């Protein structure tokens, strides 16, 4: 029985709820089909748990922004939240611990150059390693499957621990593998089965891998934190971990707000996972489209060459003089739909578009529906930078551009991510030309589903455009 005045939806089956309404390997088409039938705010049952699905800009904004506080909780008792024990930041429910940790992260990342020069230096430094790797493949072909994951992992690692890994380092490979596997499993079929059928949770099914991977990462993070404790100078933080350890020592109120060693460890894992697969998959999608669309690639390169003429490297400010490249970066993010759904829950009894939604209801904001919503975009279903250009050719960002979501829970790494995407794309396109291999058949743009959408593996041809100059 749906609660009184609850959003409509298909009739649930006993035990399974609406599991059979969804393609468990990728439910996005079914979410769309159900919205066409029941409206932009409808409900579904995951086993016995009711969930409300929000479709399109109006419903998503009204919930996450206009009623931001009411919709800023996180659902508990799902595979994603159980793996991290509900600690950290991403899956912590609405409340003081989450608020204080979010405030701390935003402030600390800003002090370390979030949106400022020092962060830029870190990104450019790592891009140099990426460029060196591509140079080795120049004149041939490259499979970029781990290329961008390696770079994105190191950038966030530098922020957290002040150091980077060599791409061939075993620890680095373990991090990247565990994180990417987990983002696929938690939103994949086994995640759906875990979330819908709690009676199966103790069985040795593939979702157990998520917990195993999590413990592997946990051990590595704990080792790094204990090294930091031994080498830090209080009051002189080198990185995010040092800042947190300083905060822990300040006054005992910190402990009241959940600042403690365990939260630090989960927090670090959350920031690493949030900053890795998202940025890397956006870049993978960007290069897939740019390789398949040489005219768009070439137009970016012309603009980049003109604006950067005589300069050793790009800086984030250069985006203001590159309207076309800016439009391409944004269009890549729009088409990539890197995070297709954001999981929330209601923090109190609330209302949305005339429906009553009780406290603790699982809410799925379908960001994918907003990024390709008809009426919001000039070309909702094709890769076209004109989606972000006005008639004068100036860059313009439509309101429906929500890859980072919206409201109090929106991505807290947006500043870092936008800087990474711009600097990596510009630096790499300035140096190299990419082309689709003749023997590779037609490009397949259909992504693989997970917490993040990932392009299917592909190869690209690489030619050197400019000799490497000092960055």
Binding residues: 411
Q: Is 417 in the site for ligand HEM (CB under 6 A)?
A: yes
Distance CA 23, CA 203 (A): 23
Q: Is 405 in the site for ligand HEM (CB under 6 A)?
A: yes
Q: Minimal distance in Å, beta carbon 310 to ligand HEM?
A: 30
Shorter beta-carbon distance to ligand HEM: residue 342 or 462: 342
| Number of shown-chain residues binding ligand HEM (CB under 6 A) | 26
Q: Minimal distance in Å, beta carbon 90 to ligand HEM?
A: 4
Q: Is 340 in the site for ligand HEM (CB under 6 A)?
A: no
Binding-site annotation, residues for heme: 411
Distance CA 286, CA 292 (A): 10
Identify the CA nearest to 408 among candidates 62, 65, 52, 92. 65
| Residues 6 or more apart whose Cβ sits within 8 Å of residue 328 | 286, 290, 296, 300, 385, 425
Contact 402, 371 (CB under 8 A): yes
CA atoms within 13 A on the CB side of 77: 12
Distance CA 416, CA 110 (A): 9
**Angle of CA points 120, 422, 449, to nearest 5°:** 115
Shorter beta-carbon distance to ligand HEM: residue 119 or 210: 119
| Burial degree of 207 (CB within 10 A; 0-12, 13-18, 19+) | buried
Q: Is 271 in the site for ligand HEM (CB under 6 A)?
A: yes
By CB under 6 A, name the one of 43, 279, 347, 361 that touches ligand HEM.
279
Region for 162 from its dihedrals, namely left if φ exceeds 0, alpha if ψ lies in -120 to 50, beta otherwise? left
By CB under 6 A, name the one of 274, 300, 400, 453 that touches ligand HEM.
274
Residues numbered 91 to 110 that lie near ligand HEM (CB under 6 A) are 102
- Which regions of 257-411 does DSSP assign to beta strands (E)? 341-345, 350-352, 355-357, 362-366
Q: Is 173 in the site for ligand HEM (CB under 6 A)?
A: no
Shorter beta-carbon distance to ligand HEM: residue 142 or 336: 336
Neighbours of 467 (CB within 10 A): 7
Choices 76-84, 267-275, 386-394, 440-448 (CB under 6 A): range interacting with ligand HEM? 267-275
The residues that bridge with 52 in the sheet, in sequence order, are 43, 363
Identify the CA nearest to 70 among candidates 349, 282, 328. 349
Shorter beta-carbon distance to ligand HEM: residue 275 or 447: 275
Contact 34, 42 (CB under 8 A): yes
Distance CA 230, CA 212 (A): 28
Q: Is 411 in the site for ligand HEM (CB under 6 A)?
A: yes
Phi, psi of 124 (to 5 degrees): -65, -35
Q: Is 410 in the site for ligand HEM (CB under 6 A)?
A: yes
Shorter beta-carbon distance to ligand HEM: residue 264 or 411: 411
Shorter beta-carbon distance to ligand HEM: residue 237 or 461: 237
Q: Is 409 in the site for ligand HEM (CB under 6 A)?
A: yes
Shorter beta-carbon distance to ligand HEM: residue 90 or 193: 90
Q: Is 275 in the site for ligand HEM (CB under 6 A)?
A: yes
Distance CA 387, CA 380 (A): 8
Q: Is 270 in the site for ligand HEM (CB under 6 A)?
A: yes
By CB under 6 A, name the one of 244, 404, 436, 449 that touches ligand HEM.
404
Q: Minimal distance in Å, beta carbon 291 to ligand HEM?
A: 19
Shorter beta-carbon distance to ligand HEM: residue 9 or 403: 403
**Angle of CA points 420, 426, 432, to nearest 5°:** 125
Q: Minimal distance in Å, beta carbon 81 to ligand HEM?
A: 11
Region for 47 from its dihedrals, namely left if φ exceeds 0, alpha if ψ lies in -120 to 50, beta otherwise? left
Shorter beta-carbon distance to ligand HEM: residue 270 or 318: 270
By CB under 6 A, name the one of 154, 182, 282, 454 that touches ligand HEM.
282
Q: Is 362 in the site for ligand HEM (CB under 6 A)?
A: no
Where does this chain bind ligand HEM (CB under 6 A)? 89-90, 102, 156, 270-271, 274-275, 278-279, 282, 338-339, 342, 344, 367, 403-405, 409-413, 416-417
């Amino acid at each position: 029985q749906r609660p009184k005045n609850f959003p409509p939806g298909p009739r649930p089956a006993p035990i399974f709820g609406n599991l059979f309404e969804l393609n468990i390997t990728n439910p996005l088409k079914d979410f769309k089909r159900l919205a066409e039938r029941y409206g932009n705010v409808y409900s579904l049952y995951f086993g016995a748990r009711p969930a409300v699905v929000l479709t399109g800009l109006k419903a998503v904004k009204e919930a996450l922004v206009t009623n931001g506080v009411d919709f800023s909780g996180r659902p508990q008792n799902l595979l994603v939240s159980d793996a991290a024990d509900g600690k950290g930041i991403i899956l912590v429910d609405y409340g003081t611990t989450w608020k204080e940790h979010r405030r701390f992260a935003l402030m600390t990342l800003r002090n370390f150059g979030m949106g400022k020069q020092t962060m830029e230096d870190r990104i450019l430094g790592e891009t140099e390693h990426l460029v060196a790797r591509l140079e080795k493949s120049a004149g041939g072909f490259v499979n970029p499957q781990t290329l961008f994951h390696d770079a994105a992992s190191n950038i966030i690692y530098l922020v957290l621990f002040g150091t980077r890994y060599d791409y061939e380092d075993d620890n680095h490979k373990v991090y990247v593998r565990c994180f990417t596997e987990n983002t696929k499993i938690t939103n994949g079929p086994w995640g759906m089965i875990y979330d819908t059928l709690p009676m199966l949770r103790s069985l040795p099914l593939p979702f157990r891998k998520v917990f195993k991977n999590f413990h592997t990462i946990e051990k590595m993070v704990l080792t790094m934190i204990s090294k930091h404790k031994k080498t830090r100078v209080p009051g002189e933080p080198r990185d995010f971990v040092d800042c947190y350890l300083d905060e822990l020592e300040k006054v005992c109120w910190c402990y009241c707000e959940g600042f403690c060693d365990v939260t630090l460890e989960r927090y670090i894992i959350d920031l690493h996972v949030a900053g890795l697969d998202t940025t890397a998959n956006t870049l993978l999608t960007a290069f897939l489209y740019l390789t398949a669309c040489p005219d768009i690639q070439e137009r970016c390169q012309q603009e980049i060459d003109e604006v950067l003429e005589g300069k050793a490297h790009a800086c984030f400010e250069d985006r203001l003089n590159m309207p076309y490249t800016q439009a391409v970066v944004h269009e890549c993010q729009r088409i990539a739909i890197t995070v297709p759904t954001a999981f929330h829950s209601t923090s109190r009894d609330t209302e949305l578009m005339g429906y009553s939604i009780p406290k603790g209801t699982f809410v799925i904001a379908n960001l994918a529906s907003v990024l390709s919503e008809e009426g919001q975009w000039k070309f909702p279903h094709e890769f076209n930078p004109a989606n972000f250009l006005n008639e004068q050719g100036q860059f313009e960002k439509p309101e429906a551009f929500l890859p980072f979501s919206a409201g109090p829970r929106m991505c807290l790494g947006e500043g870092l991510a936008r800087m990474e995407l711009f600097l990596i794309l510009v630096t790499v396109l300035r140096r190299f030309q990419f082309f689709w291999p003749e023997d590779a058949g037609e490009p397949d743009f259909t992504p693989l589903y997970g917490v993040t959408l990932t392009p299917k593996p592909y190869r690209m041809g690489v030619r050197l455009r400019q000799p490497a100059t000092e960055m």
